[in-house]
Amino acid sequence: MDEQSLIRRAQDGDATSFAELLDLYYDTIHRFAWKWCGHTADAQDIAQQACIKLANSLPQFRFQSAFTTWLYRLVISCAQDWQRQQRQQRQQRQQRRDVHDAVPPVESGTEGTRTEDQIYLEQVLSQLQQLGEGMKETALLVHAEGLSHAEAGEVLGVSESTISWRIHAIRKRMGQRERRKSVVL
């Protein structure tokens, strides 16, 4: 069965076709979620939310773009929702600590078990997040997923030139940060 037929059958409520569609694209969903956050457990949470959202949103897919383009948008939306939710939960925990003058809980073993690559990825993702709206998504789609500027623009709903400008701005800002670090060292 071709992809379009599979999607149409899943849109019509065929559970077997939806399961096949998930089997076909789960690795893509999880991989992109992991690239977004850099943690396996968090990526699993995001991927799970994306699968639920896919089940609810699949009837909205109108075949006006590639399915993967639409799917990237869906995963980005879930990742952003997840990130907001995490931020709110951290703020709520901090408020509870402030109110009760509690000592922040120590997460046993998490720092010691993270690899250098994971720590570096977290730092890069944090820097990208600080660059502003759309920058992290742009960098992940172009550099991590290998999409062209035109394809990334289609996913994010902006022009190819906007993607090109964002990539240029990211490289420039990240280069400035590296130069400042080397001066300090």
Q: Tell me the pLDDT tens digit for each residue of 127-181.
A: 877 877 788 889 888 888 888 999 888 999 989 888 988 898 888 887 776 666 6
Which residues, 6 or more positions from 24, have their beta carbon under 8 angstroms from its beta carbon? 3, 6
Axis-axis angle for helices 160-184, 116-130 (nearest 10) = 120
Write the CATH number of the domain with boundaries 1-105. 1.10.1740.10
Give residue 104's pLDDT.
Answer: 43
State how far the Cα of 100 lies from the Cα of 134, in Å rounded to an integer: 37
Whether the full predicted model's pTM is greater than 0.75, yes or no, is: no
Q: Tell me, what's the pLDDT at 115?
A: 79
Task: Check if the beta carbon of residue 96 is closer than 8 Å to that of residue 102.
Answer: yes
Q: Is domain 113-185 given the CATH code 1.10.260.40 in the classification?
A: no
The domain limits of the chain are 1-105, 113-185
CA distance 83 to 98: 22
Over the stretch 44-97, which tens digit does the pLDDT of each residue have? 999 999 999 999 999 999 999 999 999 999 999 999 999 889 888 888 777 666
Cβ within 8 Å of residue 66, ≥6 positions away: none
